[in-house]
Amino acid sequence: MISAYLAPPDDFGAWRTLARTLLQTGTAPADIVWSEEGTSSTDLFSEQAAPPHAVRVDAIRVSRSFVELARTVILHRDPARLPLLYRVLWRLQTQPRLMDDPADADIVQLCILNKQVRRDIHKMRAFVRFRVLQDPDGIDRYVAWFEPDHRIERANIGFFTGRFANQRWSILTPRLSLHWDGRKLSEGPPARREDVPAEDAAEDLWLGYYRSIFNPARLKVDAMLKEMPRRYWANMPETRQIPALIAGAQRREAGMIASGASSFGGTPPTELAALADGLQACSNCPIGCNGTRAVSGEGAAGSRLMIVGEQPGDQEEVAGRPFIGPAGQVLDLHLAAAGIDRGSAYVTNAVKHFKFALRGKRRLHQSPTAGEIDICRWWLDAERSIVRPQIILALGATAARGLLGRTPSIGKERGQLLPQADGSQILITAHPSYLLRLEGESRAREEAKFRDDLAVLKRHLEPQVEKA
Amino acid sequence: MSQPDVLTRLEILADAAKYDASCASSGTTRRDSKGGRGIGSTTGSGICHAYAPDGRCISLLKLLLTNHCIFDCHYCVNRKSSNVARARFTPKEVVDLTLSFYRRNYIEGLFLSSGIVKSSNHTMEQMVEVARCLREDHDFRGYIHLKAIPEADPELVRQAGLWADRVSINVELPTEAGLARLAPDKNGTRIEGTMRRVSSDIIENKDARKHFRSAPKFAPAGQSTQMIVGADDASDADIVGKASSLYDRFRLRRVYYSAFSPIPDASAVLPLKRPPLMREHRLYQSDWLMRFYGFAPQDVQHATDDTGMLPLDIDPKLAWALRFREHFPVDVNRASKSMLLRVPGLGTRAVGAILTARRHRSLRIDDIARLTVSLKKVRPFIITTDWRPTLLTDRVDLKAQLTPPARQLELFG
């Protein structure tokens, strides 16, 4: 029995010298008892290594891929790596192509060890977390504590000197500490976790970032644990938040869905009367909850024309009918002038409740938000599918949004028929209340445009009247 | 208006950025900060510095410059009509935050995107300024990914490519109809026009660098894009077809698929329930099949059912194999590489190992067991010197045998 002793257990050069000597003396793998620094050799048959008499001076055969693998595998903590490495080296002398056989049991084992070390190297690059302290000369030093699984500290340090070339840093481990001053690397004694500052100025920001970038709607704890096993967590401040994040996730997702608009359950009504009843009970948006009464549409199912306004106003809410206030009167005037019969149209609003702000005793109109319009689309869509109009007149941007799902530019898209997927066509124009707010020349100009749009509408309603 | 503190704004703007799936820091040129004034390096494959409980890697500081937006895209949490809290950072604040995180080894670099404020050009200018300041003023050599705004001036997009490692433009939805319905302010032709320009800039730059080594690098990590899955009714077959055409036409490095997920203050137009996350996973698998396994888009589309959807219970490669059983079993000692790649359960690495190993010996079933992760999955589809499946491929219950056992449904799924 020959005893082979490797002093620094991560020193590839020392192992190579040792292995070369053993190989040259023709020592078979089975005759060696390996030991290394930090482990005591207890083999009863062990004796001092035989003096390195070069019995065989044959050129030693070794493939480049073996050297590469061995450089990494030597860093593994498993003492069995030493006999394994030597056994493969020994076999390479007679089987030069051995490294190319990935199904060989020794090679498989070598690859497993290699993979474990490489993973550890990668995780160290990923999971080291620096905290700042000030050197005596007032310059910042970034200090980290890390506990690798294998003896990778020295082998991995090139990554950090390359990345943080121009900042001072120290990486402390239970085996040794490594320091960089911006120019050269130095090595120190083993360190303790307490040697690293307890807190850091930027850590709260990082913790906040970690919380916010997490998407509670896609909880995949296993996937996280696979890549970030718990044993690394102690050195990663952000991981303290994980239990709370997981616990809160499903609650947050449920909350988003609940507030995300729909308590609309079931299927939309298929008759206008049922729809009107349903409207009164609707509280799916803030306007629906303000205590006013909902104003449903007026007109018959099957009407060829549907007219959609913004929302009921003060007078409409009181009377429970759409378009009877000042704006309604303007609309009636223009419709009559264009020769369009309001009575045969279905008239409704994009939003069914009256949104207002109280000023003394007066209820001042307030525009609905896009979110509120979108929620109320559920009702408008139901009305469209019951009434099945051929042409829909959208008065103003709110009506157009309720119908199209987007807020169009009235100026660019008014006066043209926009064909829809359900076969109907939408004609956008301004809201009559807009005309009421203008005066003089600009009012005359806008009224002319409004008349033009209604003329377009009239033209497209006509031919079908004749056919009927 | 006074701005809230940095932490609050960081939370708002990171929260707003998390719907972009990409966090890759890979594929760029290798460099480090030796001989420079600043910090930063890049590695070939990128590093994930942490993982969130959603299983996603945190590699970059993924941030919006602002979540104010003049656009109104329904699937987007930052759309104009959304009721979320708004915030903005100045370019300098983003630069400081990036450096401060990088120095502590939290991140590989920055992924900057933005809502559109004032104009597309104004927004793009601000983003380019962040990248310029990091590179020029601080000699930052870490990874930078900039989201290009399709509506911005082409010259600004080109500048972004000069500072950044990667430039991306999201196609958002797989079909033009979906885009028109859910992202009414965006325009598919314009998005693809910008992608084409970035792609030709990258090619031109590669050519220039062949002749002049000093030519500045342009987006060395290429361009990528993202599609939202499950917000419209596009089928998996549609999505796979779209992705393949994007890879072909614009030489994209990656297409990301992001399962639409419920967002706070969602638009009423959207489906409220998320699509199964497994669907996103199956799409990534089919993406891999096309990029690394020699599958044509049609092959993947053949693996879908009548409605064009990939099966959720088994992976697309197994689905393909079960449909085209006449190609199996495959003799691992003789079959071509392309055929070995079609065997369910054999990955690219295992195929490589088989090809090397069979030069030395005739492979037995034990050898295959050592080279693969799951022999059980592979066995019905291969022949070795000592193994031949007994007409397994004709069994009607083959699918049932290979389908992983059903898992309990999610409580709130």
Residue B329, preceding peptide bond in cis (omega within 30° of 0)? yes
For residue A45, the model assigns a pLDDT of: 43
For residue range A425-453, list pLDDT tens digits in order.
999 999 999 988 888 899 999 999 999 99
List CB contacts of A153: < 8 A, sequence separation 6 or more: A10, A171, A173, A175, A176, A178
Q: Are residues B323 and B271 in the same domain?
A: no
Chain A hits for B41, CB-CB cut-off 8 Å, are 159, 162-163
The nearest CA of chain A is from the CA of B204 a distance in Å of 30
Q: Are residues A317 and A445 in the same domain?
A: yes
Q: Are residues B267 and B323 in the same domain?
A: no
Domain residues for A282? 272-467
End-of-domain residue from the set A75, A105, A123 = A123
Measured CA distances, A431 to A343, A380, A419, A453 (Å) = 19, 18, 21, 12
What is the distance of C-alpha B125 from the center of its chain? 26
Q: Are residues A449 and A328 in the same domain?
A: yes
Measured CA distances, B172 to A35, A56, B128, B167, B255 (Å) = 60, 69, 22, 15, 11
**How many separate domains does chain A show?**
4
Q: Are residues A311 and A445 in the same domain?
A: yes
Q: Are residues A410 and A279 in the same domain?
A: yes
Residue appearing with tokens 């590695």: B43
For residue A55, the model assigns a pLDDT of: 46
Q: Are residues B14 and B148 in the same domain?
A: yes
For residue A467, the model assigns a pLDDT of: 43
Chain B hits for A103, CB-CB cut-off 8 Å, are 353, 357, 360-361, 363, 367, 370-371
For residue B24, the model assigns a pLDDT of: 82
pLDDT of A238 above 80: yes
The mean per-residue pLDDT over the stretch B265-274 comes to 63
SS3 call for B284: helix
pLDDT band at B412 (very low <50, low <70, confident <90, very high): very low
For residue B30, the model assigns a pLDDT of: 87
Q: A260 vs B265: CB contact, 8 Å cut-off?
A: yes
Higher local confidence (pLDDT), A405 or A388: A388
Which of A164, A206, A220 faces B39 most closely, judged by CB atoms?
Answer: A164
In a domain, B244, yes or no: yes
Chain B hits for A129, CB-CB cut-off 8 Å, are 104-106
Taking the Cβ of residue A379 and every Cβ of chain B, the question of whether any pair is shorter than 8 Å is answered with no
CB contacts under 8 A, B 313-372 vs A, are: 353, 356-357, 359-361, 363, 367, 370-371
Q: Are residues B146 and B209 in the same domain?
A: yes
| A332: phi then psi, degrees, rounded to nearest 5 | -55, -45
Domain residues for B184? 6-275
The mean per-residue pLDDT over the stretch A343-365 comes to 89
Q: Are residues A191 and A52 in the same domain?
A: no
Q: Are residues B20 and B153 in the same domain?
A: yes
Q: Are residues A232 and A318 in the same domain?
A: no
- In percent, the amount of chain A with pLDDT more than 90 equals 51
Question: H or E stretch including B113?
Answer: strand B109-113
Q: A377 vs B35: CB contact, 8 Å cut-off?
A: no
Which of A108, A254, A259 faces B370 most closely, judged by CB atoms?
Answer: A108
Tell which residue, A48, A40, A232, has the closest CA to residue A149.
A232
Measured CA distances, B270 to A210, B158, B181, B260, B362 (Å) = 28, 35, 10, 10, 57
Question: H or E stretch including B62?
Answer: strand B60-64
End-of-domain residue from the set A195, A216, A245 = A195
Q: In this structure, what DSSP letter does residue A298 have? A: B
Tell which residue, A148, A36, A14, A21, has the closest CA to residue A83.
A36
Taking the Cβ of residue B264 and every Cβ of chain A, the question of whether any pair is shorter than 8 Å is answered with yes
In a domain, B297, yes or no: no
For residue range A122-161, list pLDDT tens digits in order.
999 999 999 999 999 999 999 999 999 999 999 999 999 9
The nearest CA of chain A is from the CA of B106 a distance in Å of 7
Could you give the CA distance from residue B136 to residue B130 in angstroms, rounded to a whole number?
Answer: 10
Q: For the CA atoms of A378, A379, A385, A388, what is the dihedral angle to 10 degrees? A: -130
For residue B106, the model assigns a pLDDT of: 96
Lowest mean pLDDT among A292-306, B56-70, B180-194: B180-194
Measured CA distances, B19 to A226, B13, B130 (Å) = 22, 11, 21
For residue A261, the model assigns a pLDDT of: 44
In a domain, A315, yes or no: yes
The nearest CA of chain B is from the CA of A157 a distance in Å of 13
Biggest distance spanned by C-alpha atoms of chain B:
77
pLDDT band at A468 (very low <50, low <70, confident <90, very high): very low
pLDDT of A52 above 60: no
Chain B hits for A250, CB-CB cut-off 8 Å, are 411-412
For residue A463, the model assigns a pLDDT of: 61
The mean per-residue pLDDT over the stretch A67-78 comes to 95
End-of-domain residue from the set B245, B275, B305 = B275
**Strand order, beta sheet including B254-259:** B60-64, B109-113, B143-147, B166-168, B223-229, B254-259
Q: Are residues A51 and A132 in the same domain?
A: no
The nearest CA of chain A is from the CA of B108 a distance in Å of 9
Q: Are residues A70 and A148 in the same domain?
A: no
**How many separate domains does chain B show?**
2
Could you give the CA distance from residue B103 to residue A169 in angstroms, rounded to a whole number?
Answer: 10
Do the beta carbons of residue A402 and residue A379 sit within 8 Å? no
pLDDT of A18 above 70: yes
pLDDT band at A256 (very low <50, low <70, confident <90, very high): low
pLDDT of B282 above 70: yes
Q: Are residues B320 and B246 in the same domain?
A: no
Amino acid of residue A415: G
pLDDT mean across residues, chain A: 87
Strands A168-172 and A356-359: unpaired
Highest mean pLDDT among A26-40, A110-124, B272-286: A110-124
pLDDT band at A63 (very low <50, low <70, confident <90, very high): confident
Question: H or E stretch including A367?
Answer: none
List CB contacts of B120: < 8 A, sequence separation 6 or more: B149, B150, B151, B152, B153
pLDDT of A255 above 70: no
pLDDT of B20 above 90: no
For residue B205, the model assigns a pLDDT of: 84
For residue range B21-58, list pLDDT tens digits in order.
777 888 888 889 988 899 999 988 889 999 999 888 99
pLDDT band at B192 (very low <50, low <70, confident <90, very high): confident
Encoded tokens for B136: 């020029």
For residue A215, the model assigns a pLDDT of: 85
ipTM score assigned to the predicted complex: 0.85
pLDDT of B91 above 90: yes
Lowest mean pLDDT among A27-41, A71-85, B129-143, B383-397: B383-397
What is the distance of C-alpha B347 from the center of its chain? 20
Chain A hits for B184, CB-CB cut-off 8 Å, are 404-406
For residue A127, the model assigns a pLDDT of: 96
The nearest CA of chain A is from the CA of B117 a distance in Å of 18
Q: Are residues B199 and B323 in the same domain?
A: no
Q: Are residues B185 and B78 in the same domain?
A: yes
Q: Are residues A246 and A386 in the same domain?
A: no
- Interface size A-B, in CB pairs within 8 Å, comes to 219
pLDDT of B176 above 90: no
Q: Are residues A230 and A304 in the same domain?
A: no
Tell which residue, B48, B47, B40, B85, has the closest CA to residue B66.
B85
pLDDT band at A46 (very low <50, low <70, confident <90, very high): very low
What is the distance of C-alpha B289 from the center of its chain? 14
In a domain, B303, yes or no: no
In a domain, A105, yes or no: yes
Q: A218 vs B49: CB contact, 8 Å cut-off?
A: no
In a domain, B240, yes or no: yes
Partner residues linked to A393 by β-bridges: A307, A427
For residue range B324-377, list pLDDT tens digits in order.
888 888 999 999 999 999 999 899 999 998 998 888 888 888 888 888 888 888
Could you give the CA distance from residue A132 to residue A137 in angstroms, rounded to a whole number?
Answer: 14
End-of-domain residue from the set A195, A218, A249 = A195
For residue B199, the model assigns a pLDDT of: 87
Chain B hits for A370, CB-CB cut-off 8 Å, are 72, 80-81
Biggest distance spanned by C-alpha atoms of chain A:
119
Amino acid of residue B390: T
- In percent, the amount of chain B with pLDDT more than 70 equals 91
Q: In 10 A of CB A220, how many CB atoms?
A: 17
Q: What angle do CA A137, B102, B122 make, to 5 degrees?
A: 120
Question: H or E stretch including A374?
Answer: helix A370-387
Do the beta carbons of residue A375 and residue A285 sit within 8 Å? yes
Chain B hits for A238, CB-CB cut-off 8 Å, are 50
CATH of the domain at B47: 3.20.20.70
Q: Are residues A317 and A433 in the same domain?
A: yes
For residue A287, the model assigns a pLDDT of: 79
